[in-house]
């Protein structure tokens, strides 16, 4: 009788343990989902991109297959005014484009100096859409936006990176 009573006590403790484990797991999963939602919302507010799982094209092009074109002049671009800020802000920047020399379109479009004014226009329109605060915080985003616009302009992705070699906020 003692063995049987002891087995019943152990079985009941096992069932209680499993029930508490299930309750704990559901509460942890809900908390984890809420935390993930908050992080996603914050990233969206800061305009950060989460990893999409796509391979970055920058890592695919070797330095030997890269040609860099730098716009000769520094560009002075007026930034959009912040809310409540009446002072005009400017950005002085020198922009460089990295091109893949092995890309099929490089032979066709590789001479960027011929289209430099069009490139400057795209750079002006992208950077001019940022406020002073946004521009200070999102320089990488500005480069990505310029890259997308230039790739759309050429209809090709032989230009795979845009970078700022000099940047001054004023």
The DSSP 8-state label assigned to residue 131 in this structure reads B
CA 14 to chain centre: 49
Domain 57-169: CATH superfamily, name plus number? Band 7 domain (3.30.479.30)
pTM: 0.62
32 Cβ contact partners less than 8 Å away, ≥ 6 residues apart: none
Element (H, E) at 166: strand 159-169
Question: Cα dihedral angle (57, 63, 66, 69), rounded to 10 degrees?
Answer: 110
The residue extents of the domains of the chain are 1-45, 57-169
The residues with which 166 forms a beta bridge, in sequence order, are: 94
Q: What is the pLDDT of residues 59-95, one digit of tens each?
A: 477 888 888 888 888 888 888 887 777 788 888 999 9
Q: For the chain (length 170 residues), average pLDDT per consecutive 10?
A: 84 95 87 84 68 48 85 87 80 90 83 84 90 84 91 88 85
């Amino acid at each position: 009788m003692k063995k049987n009573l002891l087995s019943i006590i152990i079985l009941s403790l096992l069932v209680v343990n499993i029930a508490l484990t299930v309750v704990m797991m559901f509460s942890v999963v809900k908390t984890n989902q809420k935390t993930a939602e908050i992080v996603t919302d914050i990233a969206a507010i800061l305009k950060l991109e989460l990893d999409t799982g796509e391979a970055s094209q920058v890592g695919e092009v070797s330095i030997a297959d890269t040609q860099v074109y730098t716009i000769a002049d520094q560009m002075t671009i007026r930034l959009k005014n912040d809310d409540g800020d009446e002072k005009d802000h400017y950005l002085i920047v020198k922009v460089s484009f990295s091109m893949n020399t092995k890309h099929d379109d490089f032979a066709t479009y590789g001479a960027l100096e011929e289209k430099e004014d069009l490139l400057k226009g795209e750079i002006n329109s992208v950077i001019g859409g940022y406020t002073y605060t946004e521009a200070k915080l999102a320089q990488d985003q500005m480069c990505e936006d310029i890259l997308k616009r230039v790739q759309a302009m050429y209809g090709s992705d032989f230009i795979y990176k845009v970078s700022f070699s000099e940047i001054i906020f004023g």
